Structure 1
């Protein structure tokens, strides 16, 4: 689907003979994608992914230090997303007020400083509190980056650029899981937290330097008027397609992050693997999601419908997710199944980020639309690991929880059908 075919509202912006066209949507013939800015936004996202991925390989060590049980350990992984789950849209609204670039810089600084303080946590409560504050940085970065990428990319490259952005979480998690696997013994988990802090602050410095060297596109902001654009919020929240994409992202992240967070523990408990080997296998599984993201970006660039990518991803997640936990599947088959699960589901984030930008009421509200999607992702990641711990604990074993892996994909397919109906008939895009 072409941009103009799936989003008549944005097409109206293109056709207006007013200043809006020249300030927001320059003529594609004259504009080239500023890939350096796209890359910087993606690197900022990777810093977020690192902050998420440092936890799973360190859960055993941290739990031993602070005496945390399985459910509390699950919250250590997921409470990072508490702020985004509650205030993702509000964070996106703030981006419209202060500018996406400033929101990105603020998020990076918060992410780095919270990890720095967390490295000196004296108990589990303090570490959990710093994880919540790190999550404020997450919400700011993932709300700001899609708007920055949208403004920096030429219209023909936007689906591709947003698809590349969707790799930020698995790419950052993979790097963190590999680094943590090799360095947690000599440095301890506190050393890993310091590395995470350094990554966020270094990217913040790079973003600041880049901002001083060249004018970033689309950085206008409202210096007068209300702090929050309530009319814009109402227009954004009235878009049915945005709610469907957010819901699909909730269900995706519940299942994908539950698998990613608990896979090292699952491999250790059910297959007796060494902690470092289990963490490296888990990093491989997470890394394949990057490949799925890039395939999704390429397919969007080739105009494959977003709803089709969502449907395929949910089917793959349902089948492989159930087989990973099923007792009749051999241990040797479980890691290949996990790789297929992660790679196949990777096309979904690319489609969701593209869809949120396309269905924003106007370009100035992309940060807010991205905030709604980020809020969905945060809700799913907040709930996924603890829900997995509760289900497995309640049923008594991993094998008995196989059928739970079908719940989210079935719900995802239902939401995908709603997206199909809206995008088949563009005139219902605001429904």
Structure 2
């Protein structure tokens, strides 16, 4: 086995982890028909995965340091593969949602270990090459997700978007066992179990409350009860973090306004750019009558524009102050959302998706370096985990909120257009906030930062 075999092992796992964030979108209408699922159930297919990632990626980092990176990665691959099989065989929407949550648990462990394994395996110039390859794989996974999902759904059926993960996971397990060396952090303090429980319960309850708002009035006791319970658990989480020696997230980092706004920008990034795509997929297929592959092709312009940015000016963006890249990137994402509309043809989506895609390319490049520039070197791993957490949280909350907007509209088309407006306003407002508040300087030449610049999942 060559020296790049460990990189291949982690890229295989990283690919299926990241492609599953977007590949499901195109399959939702077919899934709804087979499983007799309503809009609320389809939202949970997306959110169960995103919430598990958001809730557990920080804790998985602590577990990785404690029991070993290779061991955690192998175990997470096995969990992800078994959950993918359960998704592919799911007889109803309830089993599907549960399997997606378990898939997210495995994904969180993989997300926490892939870059860590790269960082301890490669050094100097090889590390830079490895991180560059990882970045290409991550970008490609996100880009081809809708297209790959459409191809599999139309050719073999939606269940294959999950079943295709299994042989890839098996190869990744075999290769990891043979070529990846074990490593850990001898100073690891262990997993913050109370923090994991309270954070998971808090964001889960808030998301459930937002989902219920799509079925009931905002002022109903059911909705307000879940939202209040979730906020109460998050307050408990904050109190525990302030007192714990094993805290998942050092609350002192939030004393710096730039750190807080960059995490808010990470949430807005996923919310404004991607949270409406499940509903767009339903519109393209159920309202316009497009086949899954065609619907996937319609959504490609966003990914293509992002890849154009990454391949042309991406490497130069790190020399631009982060306040400008974050501000302009999010503003473009917001403008793209405002340009989106519905009509009798899919062509009306192309300008908005393309503009949003350019914003995705800029913001995605800027976020990792921006967050690293606000924290001490010893907090780089925690900051990277926090960034991934807030990105997934933005997706989960975005799907819940925009689903509520769609559900309460007079028609599906008007609700979809309103969701575009909400997403657009969120992108622009947070972009302006980043432009005003973020003061962190460029830090690309810091070796500690270079190790985590690829953490964009």
Equivalent position of 2:354 in the other structure: 339
1:186 Cα offset (Å): 4.5
What is the TM-score when the length of structure 1 is the normalising length?
A: 0.76
Q: Do the aligned residues in 1 keep the contact of 2:264 with 2:390 (CA within 8 Å)?
A: yes
* Alignment counterpart, residue 404 of structure 1, candidates 422, 427, 434: 422
Which of 293, 306, 322 aligns to 1:306? It is: 322
| Offset at residue 258 of structure 1 (A) | 1.6
* Stretch deviating more after TM superposition (260-269 or 157-166): 157-166
Q: How big is the shift at 1:253? A: 0.6
Q: CA deviation at 1:117?
A: 2.0
Structure 1 unaligned blocks of 5 or more: 1-33, 426-431
Whole-Å Cα distance in 1 between the matches of residues 253 and 313 of structure 2?
24
**Aligned residue runs from structure 1 range 224-373, under 5 A:** 226-227=190-191, 231=245, 233=247, 236-240=250-254, 241-268=258-285, 271-294=288-311, 297-300=314-317, 303-325=319-341, 332-363=347-378, 365-373=379-387
Matched position secondary structure for 1:353: helix
Distance 2:374 2:9 in 1: 25
Name the structure 1 match of 2:388.
374
Which 5+ residue runs of structure 2 have no aligned equivalent? 194-243, 444-457
How far residue 48 of structure 1 moved from its aligned partner, in angstroms, is: 0.8
1:228 Cα deviation after fit:
5.3
1:49 aligns with 2:66: no
Q: Distance in 2 between matches of 1:59 and 1:334?
A: 19
Q: Give the CA deviation at 1:70.
A: 1.6
Of the candidates 199, 217, 221, which is equivalent to residue 185 of structure 2? 221
Does structure 1 conserve the Cα–Cα contact (< 8 Å) formed by 2:12 and 2:169?
no
**Structure-1 separation of matches of 2:74 and 2:53:** 17
Secondary structure at 1:423 match in 2:
coil
Give aligned pairs, total. 385
Structure 1 counterpart of 2:450: none
Determine if contact 1:236/1:369 at 8 Å carries over to the other structure: no
Confirm or deny: 8 A CA contact 1:49 1:168 kept in the other structure. no
Alignment TM-score, normalising by the size of structure 2: 0.73
**Cα shift at 1:335:** 1.4
Q: Deviations over 1:383-410 (max 9, x none)?
A: 2223222212323312344431333213
* CA RMSD, 1 decimal: 3.5
- Residue 87 of structure 1: how far off its partner (Å): 3.0
Structure 2 residue 52 is matched with structure 1 residue 83: yes
The 1:110–1:384 alpha-carbon spacing in structure 2 relative to 1, beyond 3 Å, is: same
The residue that corresponds to 1:126 in the other structure is 95
Query: Are 1:70 and 2:87 matched, yes or no?
Result: no
Alpha carbons of 1:210 and 1:400: their partners in 2 closer, same or farther (altered >3 Å)?
same
Distance 1:35 1:419 in 2: 41
Identify if the C-alpha distance between structure 1 residues 332 and 243 changes in structure 2 by more than 3 Å, giving closer, same or farther.
same
Q: CA deviation at 1:339?
A: 2.3
Kept after mapping to 2: 8 A contact 1:237/1:243: no
Cα 1:70–1:225 change in 2 (3 A) is: closer
> 1:136/1:155 Cα in 2 relative to 1: closer, same or farther (>3 Å)?
same
Q: Matched residues in 1 for 2:69 and 2:27: separation?
A: 33
Q: Take 1:420 and 1:310, find their aligned partners in 2: how far apart are those partners?
A: 9
Give the structure 1 partner of residue 434 of structure 2.
416
Contact 2:249 2:382 survives alignment (8 Å): no
Identify which range, 312-321 or 266-275, moves more after superposition: 266-275
Native 8 Å contact 2:301 2:353 kept in 1 = no
Deviations 1:278-320 (A, max 9, x none): 122224533443444455741245x233332211211111111
Query: Which residue is equivalent to 2:198?
Result: none
Correspondence 1:191 to 2:160: yes
Map 1:93-104 → 2, pairs under 5 A: 93-104=62-73
Q: Is it true that 1:178 corresponds to 2:147 in the alignment?
A: yes
Q: CA deviation at 1:97?
A: 1.6
- Report the equivalent of 2:205: none
1:418 shift after superposition: 6.3
Secondary structure of 2:90's counterpart equals coil
